[in-house]
Structures are given as C-alpha cells and as structure tokens.
C-alpha cells in the first residue's frame, strides 16, 4: 500500500473515532483502538461510503501495520491490540482471469495495417508480447541489441528490479522482427526496438491506444473480441494459459514470465481448472445405474437340464 493510502486510512479512522467516542485525534490513546471500534469503522466504510470488500481489506491492512508497530511501543495496550489484530480480512471473489484464444490472438496481431510504418511496428510488437509474455514496460524499453534473431532467436528482457531473463523466440516471431528491423531507420544496438514515430520510447498509453484500434478492427471478423476487456497485459495472461494448456510445466512458465515467486503462476492453473470444470458441467453425466442381467428363456432351460 502506498503512503497516501495509509494517510487516507487514518484520516478516515480518526474522524470516525471522534464522531463515535467523542475524542479528538490528539486525545486518542492506543487502548481506544478496540476491536469494536475498528469493526464499526470497517462497517461504516462499506455501508456509508460504499467501499468494496477489497477497499475495506486494504484499510484494515493499513490499521494492522500501525497496530503491530504500536504493540512494541506500549505493552499496556497489548491485550486491546491483539484483539484488534484478530479481525479477519473479508473474503472477496477473485476476478476472472482474462485471456484470448489462439484465433483471437492471430486476428489482433494481423489487424494493424501492414502497409504503414506504425502498422508494421504494431504487428511486430503484438507478436512479441504474445511470444514472450513480456510486461508492457519490458517491451517498450527493449533495445535492438536485446534481441538475437539468428541461429537460436532469443530476447533478453529487463524485468522488475532490473532483473534480466532470456526468453526464446519462435521462428515466426523472429521472422516478423527481422522484417520490422528492415523498416527501422535507427538499428543501432541502443535504439528502441519498438519506438514511437520520432524514434523515442513509446508510451504505455500509446500501446494501449494502438491495441484498442487493432481489437476494434479484429472484432469485425471475430465478434467475441468485442465482448472482452483487452489490455496489453492480456497478452501476458494469454501466453501463460497457452503454455500451460500445451503441457509446459508450471515452474518453466514462472521462469518464462519472470515471476520471483512460482506461487504467483498458480493463478493460471486455477483459471485453467475453472475453465475445465465449466466445460464438464455442460456435459450430461452417464447413467451409471446397474442393470440386472436377465438370461433368456432358452439359456435357463439349458442350464436346468444339466
């Protein structure tokens, strides 16, 4: 949580406490932050301010950080603080993970006008995002020297914390990038691989805008695209899901995406399982009730004659 969020949480909490127990912020003591007060504050956020469960949980997390610190400063309030720290987070529904089908991805990549400089760049960029599962920040910061397109094509990405990882490129992606390089005026190693029209770093908002245009064009042929919320990050989810569905091990996908914690990648396993369960629910179960065998009359007569 960012500092402004902590600040806003305590502005709301202190104002609520003043209205509820009649003490100004300067008069409050740690023993005043009872579980009852904090629970009432959380209910107020949802009922009166219309906050979602996620916002409520974020406010509670901020209060918990403060109380954990305060517990080391005033042991006389430890019993009250422990009760307040026991307040649980509220369960929330996880958002459905959005990803694209293979035909949808191909339609988006092929949608930009290949007869224009910007269209060729967009095709190369979208193909790159799908191949690598790169974050948009990694893609727009990529330099010409960061990709090797001969023999064993590979892209060297700089991820979070400036950590580097290498991702293999498919032959088709390498071919698309080679064709794109032919149209770059500046092919020096330090030049941006996907620049804006003036050769500088393309912005996130520009990538989002260009993708929106491509989706609108592609949806004329594939109507399902018009019903989906698609951002540059959707390519990353799509790459992970397609790798998982192709049988690639989850630990390899974590390395592919640059996840520090492999547990982060398990959201794709959960999404894949949910999709399979939904498909299974549409099937009619086989009637497994046993049927008692009844031998024909001739068989019975033969057995009785033995």
Same domain for 73 and 113: no
Across 233-259, average pLDDT: 83
Across 226-230, average pLDDT: 91
Same domain for 76 and 130: no
Same domain for 112 and 202: yes
Residue 38 and residue 103: Cα distance in Å, rounded? 50
Same domain for 137 and 46: no
Classified as helix, coil or strand, 155 is strand
Classified as helix, coil or strand, 153 is coil
71-80 long-range contacts, Cβ below 8 Å, gap at least 24?
74/30, 76/30, 76/31, 77/29, 77/30, 77/31, 77/33, 80/30, 80/31, 80/33, 80/34, 80/35
- What residue numbers bound the domain in which 81 lies? 3-85
pLDDT of residue 279: 46
CA pseudo-torsion sign 167, 173, 176, 178 = positive
User: Has residue 71 been placed in a domain?
Assistant: yes
- CATH code at 171? 1.10.443.10
pLDDT band at 305 (very low <50, low <70, confident <90, very high): low
Q: Which of 229, 257, 289 marks a domain boundary?
A: 229
- Give pLDDT tens digits for 177-201: 999 999 998 999 999 999 999 999 9
Q: Work out the mean pLDDT of the chain and round it to a whole number.
A: 84
Same domain for 128 and 205: yes
Same domain for 167 and 59: no
Same domain for 223 and 115: yes
Residue 12 and residue 59: Cα distance in Å, rounded? 10
Across 107-119, average pLDDT: 96
Same domain for 142 and 66: no
Geometric angle at alpha carbon 102, from 257 and 279, rounded to 5°: 95
Identify which has the larger pLDDT, 231 or 251.
231
pLDDT of residue 219: 96
Give me the torsion for CA of 228, 232, 234, 235, rounded to 10°: 120
Q: What is the DSSP letter of 143?
A: B
Q: Which of 255, 266, 300 is nearest to 132 (CA)?
A: 255
Query: How much of the chain exceeds pLDDT 70, in percent?
Result: 81
Classified as helix, coil or strand, 251 is helix
Residue 116 and residue 180: Cα distance in Å, rounded? 11
Residue 254 near residue 265, CB atoms below 8 Å: yes
For 163, the token pair is: 């950590």
pLDDT band at 176 (very low <50, low <70, confident <90, very high): very high
Catalytic residues: 135, 160, 233, 236, 259, 268
Residue 229 and residue 287: Cα distance in Å, rounded? 40
Residue 246 and residue 243: Cα distance in Å, rounded? 5
User: Has residue 169 been placed in a domain?
Assistant: yes
For 59, the token pair is: 């406010």
Same domain for 108 and 45: no
Same domain for 198 and 129: yes
User: Has residue 273 been placed in a domain?
Assistant: no
Provide the strand spans (E) within 146-301: 147-148, 154-158, 164-168
User: Has residue 54 been placed in a domain?
Assistant: yes
For 77, the token pair is: 């309030």
How many domains, in total, are found in the chain?
2
| 198-235 per-residue burial string, b: 16 or more CB within 10 A, e: under 16 | eeeebeeeebeebbeebbebbbeebeebeeeebbbebb
Classified as helix, coil or strand, 203 is coil
pLDDT of residue 162: 67
Across 280-306, average pLDDT: 55
Same domain for 71 and 23: yes
Same domain for 207 and 133: yes
């Amino acid at each position: 949580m960012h500092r402004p969020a902590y600040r806003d949480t305590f502005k709301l909490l202190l104002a609520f406490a003043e209205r509820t127990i009649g003490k100004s912020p300067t008069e409050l003591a740690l023993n005043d932050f009872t579980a009852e007060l904090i629970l009432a504050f959380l209910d107020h956020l949802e009922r009166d301010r219309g906050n979602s469960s996620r916002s409520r949980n974020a406010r509670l997390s901020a209060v918990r950080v403060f109380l954990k610190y305060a517990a080391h400063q005033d042991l006389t309030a430890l019993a009250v603080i422990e009760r307040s720290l026991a307040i649980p987070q509220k369960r929330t529904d996880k958002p459905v993970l959005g990803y694209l089908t293979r035909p949808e991805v191909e339609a988006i990549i092929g949608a930009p006008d290949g007869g224009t400089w910007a269209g060729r760049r967009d095709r190369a960029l979208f193909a790159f995002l799908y191949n690598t599962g790169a974050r948009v920040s990694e893609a727009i910061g990529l330099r010409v020297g960061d990709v090797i397109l001969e023999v064993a094509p590979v892209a060297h990405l700089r991820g979070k914390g400036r950590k580097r990882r290498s991702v293999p490129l498919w032959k088709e992606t390498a071919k698309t990038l080679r064709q794109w390089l032919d149209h770059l005026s500046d092919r020096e190693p330090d030049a941006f691989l996907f620049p804006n029209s003036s050769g500088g770093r393309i912005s996130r908002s520009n990538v989002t805008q260009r993708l929106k245009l491509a989706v609108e064009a592609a949806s004329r042929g594939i109507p399902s695209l018009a019903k989906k919320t698609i951002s540059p990050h959707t390519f990353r989810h799509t790459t992970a899901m397609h790798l998982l569905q192709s049988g690639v091990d989850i630990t390899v996908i974590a390395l592919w995406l640059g996840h520090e914690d492999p547990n982060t990648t398990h959201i794709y396993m959960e999404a894949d399982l949910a999709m399979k369960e939904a498909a299974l629910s549409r099937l009619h179960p086989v009637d497994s009730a046993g049927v008692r065998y009844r031998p024909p009359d001739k068989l019975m007569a033969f057995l009785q004659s033995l």
